[in-house]
Chains A and B, each alone.
Chain A
């Protein structure tokens, strides 16, 4: 479940999508992509929120089976990202590639509807959704970075991620309202999600400009791995992977929190909402700060917030501070790292290789977190949760020290200019 959320949280800024009074305007393309993401996230989070219920309570699948399917598809989607980025760079048609991804995800809801209770059908629909998500992410982020002035990239990503997270917050609310109103008609949730997803595709087609912002001077050049030749990009990639390997994932954090406080399971779904709210509020401020002070620093500070989460979970802290601080710090972590990372790396990549480069970075990060989740799960099983958490905290501390070294040598922002 954790990885499903990271995909949409690659952004880094605050929550208010309209800062036109504050001097520079946010580019129209960014707002349009933000609106597309908002609508799409309502669509996808609706399904994400009810899917475990539907599969486990409704159809009697075991949670283990579901977790396995989910993990498998997220891993596969990470690789599909590379393809999406590569295709966007080669053709110069970022909008078309992203649109294909959005459309595929929207249509996967119909697959869920038609699959009925058949597990292979459900698996195929889930796979289509994750493939769609994988395809669209890198071209979309490349479009954002290509249509924003480099000095305001942080803010652009912040605005986009804030809008995106707004959709992610509304989706589950809409889904549960629907289930309540229809007395558990999961099919109604799938149909509404499908319609919402299609609306997102329409918004993309109508409001996001096609080739205007993507100068395709040398169409054959875009190779995903060519970005690796750039030293500064490589350092960022290493840093993101290093930190990713020590990021245990929100589902574990929430599970630890739930065990520690002996929370009723019915409150469990509210924890991610708290983190999303924090993310929403902090994404734009974090992006603006990143534009001003350099994007490496918020990235580091964000991971320090994550370190604080680990420490809070180990420390003798009361229930109320834990319930406020842990989701809040997780929100800060996302706000200061997800979009900021894209803003940090974007300017280093040539326009015709940007989607591929960003895809590479995202894939590395997702795979690193996958390794981390698996490792943490194994450590938890072998030694128990407290030693495993101590291990994760120490590893994160080491990774932070390494990142300071990696990112300090040359300020990537300055080099980009």
Chain B
């Protein structure tokens, strides 16, 4: 290679500097812009009540009154920016994707006034979020790889955070799992969709292992989980803790695999709900009779006893929750 002249060297270094500085500055600007307006406006709190949800247009949490009203009724926006949201017992859990090449997200814990009280950095894509009725126990599920339950190759990580002790279980996969009375040590277990009972100790979740999904009943103190039933995904415990709404795989058609069901925990009998379309969501109970879920980018409700018909509640919205 011919040696460069003094001027040539300066030109090479200057060019390299411009390109690299441009890349660095551009990335930094994007990273800082992507995360500017992430917190709630001061007037927007959980105390106002009603149905809270993620407004798809803005990416921010919004709310509207719970009672019957026209579908197009104005929504009050101004909540934090979240990709998945849930609130109960004066605490809100906001999963927020981060910009940038490593796919990662924050789990942000918010108080009743939607001020941040804890933030956890997580790898993967936000998927499910839940807070126990008391506001003490929080859980969320992230897709570590893949981004859908519909494909065979995905991996989830489910975390549980106890706000009273501050203890965080980053990945609950090490819980003692019993299926059909036998301990299962398989490395292929994936958990998702935790829902907590009122005692803040018992919980339900989905575990997938060996190509099947099960409903497990877990115990925080004993750190053990026992499979109750197969083909149950994304359980959601009713406010009176007697029933579980879940999605059941009913078809091998990858476009419409699931149907919402409700399982009675005392009789272990399940019944399909009136929503006939496939729903991929962890449903939320608005009260002991009504279930809300997102389908096709809108929020719908359906009676929990299998009667009636689905009703469109909020268009262009996801993550329904009633903070109570």
Residues on A close to B: CB < 8 A? 57-60, 113-118, 178, 181-183, 185, 187-188, 191-192, 195-196, 198-199, 202-203, 206-207
Give the docked Cα–Cα distance between A181 and B123 (Å): 22
Give the docked Cα–Cα distance between A367 and B114 (Å): 52
Interface pair A206/B24, CB less than 8 Å apart? no
Residue numbers in B under 8 Å from A196 (CB-CB): 20, 24
| CB-nearest residue of chain B to A117 | B123
Interface pair B123/A199, CB less than 8 Å apart? no
| CB-nearest residue of chain A to B16 | A202
**Known contacts A60-B170, A188-B28; A118/B16 CB under 8 A:** no
| CB-nearest residue of chain A to B32 | A182
User: What's the least CB distance linking B22 to chain A, in Å?
Assistant: 9
Residue numbers in B under 8 Å from A198 (CB-CB): 16, 20
Interface pair A191/B123, CB less than 8 Å apart? no
Residue numbers in A under 8 Å from B21 (CB-CB): 195
User: What's the least CB distance linking B204 to chain A, in Å?
Assistant: 25
Q: Of A57, A181, A183, A187, which contacts B101 at CB under 8 A?
A: A187
In order of increasing CB-CB distance, the 10 nearest A-B pairs are A117-B123, A116-B102, A187-B100, A185-B31, A58-B121, A195-B20, A195-B24, A202-B16, A188-B31, A182-B32
Residue numbers in B under 8 Å from A206 (CB-CB): 4, 9, 12-13
| CB-nearest residue of chain B to A198 | B20
Residues on B close to A: CB < 8 A? 4, 9, 12-13, 16-17, 20-21, 23-24, 27-28, 31-32, 35, 38, 98-104, 120-124, 168, 170
Interface pair B102/A182, CB less than 8 Å apart? no
Interface pair B32/A185, CB less than 8 Å apart? yes
User: What's the least CB distance linking A94 to chain B, in Å?
Assistant: 17
Give the docked Cα–Cα distance between A57 and B168 (Å): 12
Q: Of B27, B38, B120, B124, which contacts A60 at CB under 8 A?
A: B120
Residue numbers in A under 8 Å from B35 (CB-CB): 182-183, 185
| CB-nearest residue of chain B to A58 | B121
Interface pair A59/B12, CB less than 8 Å apart? no
User: What's the least CB distance linking A197 to chain B, in Å?
Assistant: 9
Interface pair B24/A192, CB less than 8 Å apart? yes
User: What's the least CB distance linking B81 to chain A, in Å?
Assistant: 12
Q: Of B28, B100, B122, which contacts A117 at CB under 8 A?
A: B122
| CB-nearest residue of chain A to B102 | A116
Given contacts A183-B32, A206-B12, 8 further A-B contacts (CB under 8 A): A59-B121, A60-B170, A116-B124, A117-B104, A182-B35, A185-B31, A195-B21, A203-B13
User: What's the least CB distance linking A117 to chain B, in Å?
Assistant: 3
Interface pair B20/A181, CB less than 8 Å apart? no
Residue numbers in B under 8 Å from A185 (CB-CB): 28, 31-32, 35, 98-100
**Known contacts A183-B32, A198-B20; A117/B121 CB under 8 A:** yes
Give the docked Cα–Cα distance between A18 and B36 (Å): 43
| CB-nearest residue of chain A to B10 | A206
User: What's the least CB distance linking A182 to chain B, in Å?
Assistant: 4
Give the docked Cα–Cα distance between A249 and B12 (Å): 41
Residue numbers in B under 8 Å from A118 (CB-CB): 123
Can you identify 13 A-B contacts, CB atoms within 8 angstroms?
A58-B121, A59-B121, A114-B102, A116-B102, A117-B122, A182-B31, A183-B35, A187-B98, A188-B28, A192-B24, A196-B20, A198-B16, A202-B16
Interface pair A188/B13, CB less than 8 Å apart? no
Residue numbers in A under 8 Å from B121 (CB-CB): 57-60, 117
Residue numbers in B under 8 Å from A115 (CB-CB): 102
Give the docked Cα–Cα distance between A187 and B35 (Å): 13
User: What's the least CB distance linking B311 to chain A, in Å?
Assistant: 40
| CB-nearest residue of chain B to A178 | B28
| CB-nearest residue of chain A to B38 | A183
Residue numbers in B under 8 Å from A181 (CB-CB): 28, 32
Interface pair B99/A191, CB less than 8 Å apart? no
**Known contacts A60-B168, A188-B31; A195/B23 CB under 8 A:** yes
Residue numbers in A under 8 Å from B32 (CB-CB): 181-183, 185, 188
Residue numbers in A under 8 Å from B124 (CB-CB): 116-117
User: What's the least CB distance linking B127 to chain A, in Å?
Assistant: 15
User: What's the least CB distance linking B39 to chain A, in Å?
Assistant: 10
Residue numbers in A under 8 Å from B31 (CB-CB): 182, 185, 187-188
Q: Of B13, B17, B28, B122, which contacts A192 at CB under 8 A?
A: B28
| CB-nearest residue of chain A to B12 | A206
Residue numbers in A under 8 Å from B120 (CB-CB): 60
Give the docked Cα–Cα distance between A199 and B23 (Å): 12
| CB-nearest residue of chain B to A112 | B102
Residue numbers in A under 8 Å from B123 (CB-CB): 59, 116-118
Give the docked Cα–Cα distance between A116 and B98 (Å): 11
Give the docked Cα–Cα distance between A157 and B161 (Å): 53
Q: Of B17, B24, B168, which contacts A191 at CB under 8 A?
A: B24
Give the docked Cα–Cα distance between A16 and B122 (Å): 44
User: What's the least CB distance linking A5 to chain B, in Å?
Assistant: 24
Q: Of A183, A187, A203, A207, which contacts B102 at CB under 8 A?
A: A187
Interface pair A202/B13, CB less than 8 Å apart? yes
Residue numbers in A under 8 Å from B27 (CB-CB): 187-188, 191-192
Give the docked Cα–Cα distance between A181 and B27 (Å): 12
Residue numbers in A under 8 Å from B28 (CB-CB): 178, 181-182, 185, 188, 191-192
Residue numbers in A under 8 Å from B16 (CB-CB): 198-199, 202
| CB-nearest residue of chain B to A199 | B20
Residue numbers in A under 8 Å from B103 (CB-CB): 116
Residue numbers in A under 8 Å from B102 (CB-CB): 113-117, 187
